[in-house]
Chain A
Amino acid sequence: MATLYEGYTLCGVGPVQNSSNIGILGVEQGGDIDHVLVTDTSRSITVYKVSDQKPTGSWSVKQGQIISCPAVFNTQSQEYVVVTDDRVVRVWKEDDVNLEKAFKATVSADVLKVLSATDSEPVVLFCCGAVRFLDSLLASPQQPMEDVLTEDEIIRWSTIVKAEHQLVILFSTEQRGEHCLYVQRFNPNTLVKHRFETEPGLSAPISFSATCRGSNIHLLYLYLNGSVYESVLPFRSSSTGAEGVQALSRSLCLSLPLGEEKLMSGAAVVLDEAHVAVVGFPHPSAGACKDYLCIWNTHFQTLQASKEMAGRIYSQLWCYSGKLYVPHGKMLSVIPFDCQKSSLAAAMGKQKQTSQSGKDFSNIKSALTVDQLIQHIKTSAVEDVQAEVGEFIRRTPQADLQLAAGRVALELVSRSQTDANFYPQCAFLLLLETRYLCYSVCPELLSLAMVKKDFHLCQIAFQIFSDIPEAVTCACLKTILSTPDLEMETVNLDMDSVIFMKELTQAHSRSDEEGGQLNGFCHPALESDVSDTPSNKLQRDPFALDMSCPVGLHKGALLNEVLQTAYSDRSLLPHLKDLTVPQVIVFLQYLRFLYLKYSHDAHKQIRALRTPSISQIIDWVCLLLDAHFTVLAVAPEAKRLVFDLHKFVRSQVKLYAELGKIEGSLQVLKSSKQSEDFGMYAIQVIELF
């Protein structure tokens, strides 16, 4: 779930004489993540400390001079670079007061932009398409510039992408309505030209955003019709010889809703691999007349967060270290944001209010058979329905099935809810096995299974659904805990999980026989007891006593599934409070049993596909203790359990503290080794004071 936090105004946006879509020239990253460099359209460059919302330095050019591109900060030399009057490159340091006195060099061609990436040499992009490293340019400023572009080709946008110490310059051009993307790579220098696909009625992309992910550059671009396309370019040029213009392959990753009004400007910027921030497009549910900053999830096409932006919106939007910089009206706002890794359930959250789910299915093409099946489901007997669903799943192509499975499941659930005698378990299982269902598609399925006490279906659903809301997880947990073990044992469950439980309880008895020293681990309390006579052991050692599993095998298997579900602490905590005291104690006992088993390393010998991890167990123990702290503190029956847990945890903490000490020493050893080893020859710089 992405969040937009309360923003603040960083600075005003200078008077805009022209009607262009530019409020300010640019916002660039400063010397560290807390500093940005704002170049406005008038004549000044200002450095802001963002967290303080204060300017820390400002420079302006003389009357009559024009800043032609946003100033950048060269992190290598700790200098600022700007170009004035198209051809004069100026370089200055933080403590230079007057820009006029700073270093300047006049170059032979018009500069479009200076591009700078962290920890690398700035690159100067000329209007003619030529590219030079700043250093080499300043070494001989008057060097001739080759014309890369044809005469009436104009660069509309440019950026620099850095990864693996490699720089790539991207720029897009326009020439008589044709739009091209150039990719300039260095070492070796290659320039590849791509053509944007044009469609009738689709004008040029209005906003670009490039990021590097893995070994590819992901270029996202926004059209005025609300389409956001993504193109993937390899980071290193794959072909060296193949020249000529290649069409840029693209995929539609977002279709923004449009209002009635004709849009003039807008901008998009990639936040992470799943999120994109868009400004200038209307909020899908609010009125079209307002301008909004929205965060969309491109994976699920859902709106994640939005914020109203007052005043005129420009085609500009920047994102640096967790903050969005939006010029709007007469100000530049800084809006911090947060994008969490989202599950589908989280992604669906907001959209439920904004778009009807029916819309998703309106464009299903292979509707005939699905519609027929749905009609059948409404009326036919359970056996017929199960057979037909099985047939349908076998016959339908995978792509169509993906869309149809949800519809069929929904229909089946709704029939089951109204008709008490109708419960097609096999059909549900078949649908689940397609793996096209998730909780969000058919939310009622899991609660239906609970009502019907169909624990097998529950187990499969827990394994397959990754987006079960915490409330539902808790409800299921409650049902599982409240069901008597006897009833549970008759249920048919996934064999693998039951075998795991069997092994776990057997490993217990085996390790018990061997005095808990199966693999050398021995709890201090246990250790002291081992030396005692076995008869004493039974009375004294709480662990030896409680090493028996407090729940039945099948219940344990189901609880294991619950432990492995995804959840967020904050959402789960209130629902956990619904559990009754006996349920909490049984669950805690089971968790302690698992924890002890894991500490004895018994599970390592058991081969099972899905087993709860030790951190999952500990997280659940913490959550349970948090949720029922007062109850556990007063309940007499919980006293022994809490005491044992504390004792065990204390010994573990002691162990980890010792390990921590070792880690420190090893770290020092490692770093001391690293710093010394430079081989047979090195050239270093030493400084004496």
Chain B
Amino acid sequence: MGEFKVHRVRFFDYMPSGIRALAFNGDTERMAVARMDGSVEIFHCSDRFFQEKIIPGREQCGIEGLSWVGERLFSAGLNGGITEYDLTNQKVKYTIDAYKIPWYTFLVGCEDGTVKLFEVNEDKIQFERNLDRQKSRIVSLSWHTSGSKIAAGMMDMIQIFNVETGHSIHRMLADRGVGTSRSKECVVWSVVYLSDGTIVSGDSVGMVKLWDDQTGTLIKSHNVTKCDVLALSVSQNEDSLVAGTSEGTVVQFQFVSMVLGKDDKEWVRTRTFKNHTHDIRAVAEITTAVVSGGMDAQLVVKPLLDKIEVRSAASALRKIHFPHRRLVFCARNSGLMLFQYPGHLELWRLGESEGKGSSLFVKRNPEKLLHLKVKGEDHIRCSAVSPCGEWIVYSTASSLRLYRLHYQRFLFLFFQISKLPKVLSSANQLCFSSDSSHLFSASTQSSVHIVSLSQSGCKFVGTLKPKSGSHQAIHLLAASEDGEWLASANSDHEVHIYNLQTRKAHCTVPVYSSAVTAMGIHPTTNCLFMMYADQQMCEYSIEQKQYTDWSRTVQRKGLHRLWMERDTPCLNVMFNPQNPSHVILHDTYMLCIIDQSLPLPDDKTQFYNQLTLKSLTEDQRKSHSHAFKVCKTFKDILCVELISDQSLVVVERPLEDVATQLPAPIKQKKFAT
């Protein structure tokens, strides 16, 4: 079918940030994840854990806890603030100061030993009062479902407060460790207050203890680990409890009856999972799985097989290492790559090769042209480089900056465009037109601003607004090669297509249940090709405002089982200008070329057939080949892009490299200071 020259790039030093807190919202099936760098991500648990929203972090912004109140998300951080997030526009709504807060949310335990109570109002939260001040620091807190009692984990003890009076009801002493650790304080890292009055605690001695709140006595104690038990989480119906340790193990306890058919139930330690290499800082039990995250920066979804009826893609262990957004952008026509780090951008020029063979001699090494640090404390939300390589743009939550690059033979000029139109204050997504003459900036209310670019600067042209009136932020933009069309996709799964000539909304692709993870407009047919989080694909003819015949055939015949079982979303859709029937896709583990002229594989067909085809003769190949040509040579792919000389750029970030840059996986007994 064809050969591709591949620039195999491994020098993008992207480091995912460690996971600090998790919060599951059972009503919306959303999982909120807070990371060490202050970013908050929203995963859609029933849509293959697609990362729907990313709220970038800030410098010096440590989040210690996350909590949902209805559909509102709050976080409490070390910098002493409680933050509410605007999930529609994917930004921080407001932050209020609550003195030095180490741990929990809206009911806030403070380092000075107070528990502060806040009231959640319509658009604000308001401080209500303090409970009795304690001598020790409050490390963890948990409400009783009645709302009248609170359990607080402290140094060496657990206290139960009556919320109304603000007084302590019981003090329960946690044992210190034996031997040398005797002199160290026992930190109760986590408490969970069950509705039946049982309090569960996890501490730095490695014990999970169950207490009775009526008597204030210890019911049972489980030695889970030699190190710390850092996180606890209980399932919604309170029959299962998971504990995360600093060894990287998750231990499950279940509330089961000891004798079959009888009602005396006990908490029994049942399962242990080890999917992490480092400290687990947060665990959460969702409907069918245990989700855990920690210092090794991966989000692990371990399905509980007893809660799953059919074996499917959802029943497999899922590890999410990389964001479901693009961090690498290529200037197609000039061989440049833009790497988006949280706090800076890097622009690289690709190398050159000579000779023949499967591994070419690198005549010129890739070269770093630019290292652009972000102004201010906010992290980058999105960035883009124009196809011609002359424009770079990035946006944080608070500002947007546009730069113009100029290359001469030996000279490299770089300057910021100072006078930007006011609409370009911040963007959710950015995209250049294929001739680099326009910049599209996705703004609030699903609108897109068009700005024309020229030597002299940039000029606001107009705003594209969807007919639907959705307020969700746009996470994908795709411009057509001929400059006629622009497609945008938002978190409501809406895909709007605009006519750039008239600057009017042209049509809307029928809304599908799954989120769009990648899309592209075909350069010759002007069909919009969309990839969804559930691994479905659609091709929509913009001119005819309907799905294409090929797309209908795919839907009718269904995709191959192995294709559907892949567990990472496709992140880019490209087209081969030399062969219009080729669509190039990639996810984290593979690169796939779909040849639309070839028959679709059915479930009996060998799906990964490249090795078989390689061994066959030219004639035999014809009868064996099918539309999906999957190349598994590459691993841990962050980006694949086809550049104009027909070569592919594959940016890999090997997980081994990530692992080597993580801190040593040892038990960290550090207090939250």
Contact = CB atoms under 8 A, between A and B. Distances in A.
Interface string B586-604: 0000000100000000000
B3 A689 contact: no
Contacts of A76: 356
B6 A689 contact: no
B4 A683 contact: no
Given A688-B593, A689-B1, A689-B614, A680 B6 contact: no
Contact of B7 (A683, A687, A688, A689): A683
B351 A686 contact: no
- The prevalent SS among residues of A at the interface is strand
Given A678-B359, A681-B351, A681-B366, A686 B11 contact: no
Interface in B1-38: 1-11
A286 to B, nearest CB: 53
A681 B3 contact: no
Nearest to A680: B11
B366 to A, nearest CB: 6
A688 B1 contact: yes
A358 interface: no
A681 B8 contact: yes
Interface residues of A, number: 13
B8 A678 contact: yes
B631 to A, nearest CB: 6
B9 A688 contact: no
B360 interface: yes
Interface in A666-689: 678-689
A680 B360 CA distance: 14
Nearest to B4: A686
A683 B362 contact: yes
Contacts of A680: 9-11
B359 A689 contact: no
Interface in B349-371: 351-353, 356-360, 362, 365-366
B8 A689 contact: no
A681 B2 contact: no
A681 B9 contact: yes
B585 to A, nearest CB: 13
Contacts of B10: 679-681
Contacts of B5: 683-685
A684 B8 contact: yes
A686 B592 CA distance: 12
A458 B525 CA distance: 95
A117 to B, nearest CB: 17
B11 A685 contact: no
Nearest to B12: A680
Contact of B2 (A679, A683, A684, A688): A688
A683 B351 CA distance: 8
Given A681-B365, A684-B360, A689 B353 contact: no
Contacts of A687: 2-4, 614
Interface in B329-358: 351-353, 356-358
Contact of A681 (B11, B357, B621): B11
B6 A683 contact: yes
A301 B158 CA distance: 100
Interface in B81-109: none
Contacts of B631: 686, 688
B1 A683 contact: no
A686 B647 CA distance: 10
Nearest to B354: A683
A686 B3 contact: yes
Residue of A678, A679, A686, A687 contacting most chain B CB atoms (<10 Å) = A686
A688 B357 CA distance: 15
Interface of B: 1-11, 351-353, 356-360, 362, 365-366, 593, 610, 613-614, 621, 625, 629, 631, 633, 647
30 contacts: A678-B8, A679-B10, A680-B10, A681-B9, A681-B11, A681-B366, A682-B8, A682-B359, A682-B360, A683-B5, A683-B7, A683-B351, A683-B353, A683-B359, A683-B360, A684-B6, A684-B359, A684-B360, A685-B5, A685-B6, A685-B358, A686-B3, A686-B6, A686-B631, A687-B614, A688-B4, A688-B593, A688-B631, A689-B1, A689-B625
Given A685-B6, A689-B625, 5 more contacts: A681-B351, A682-B359, A683-B352, A688-B629, A689-B629
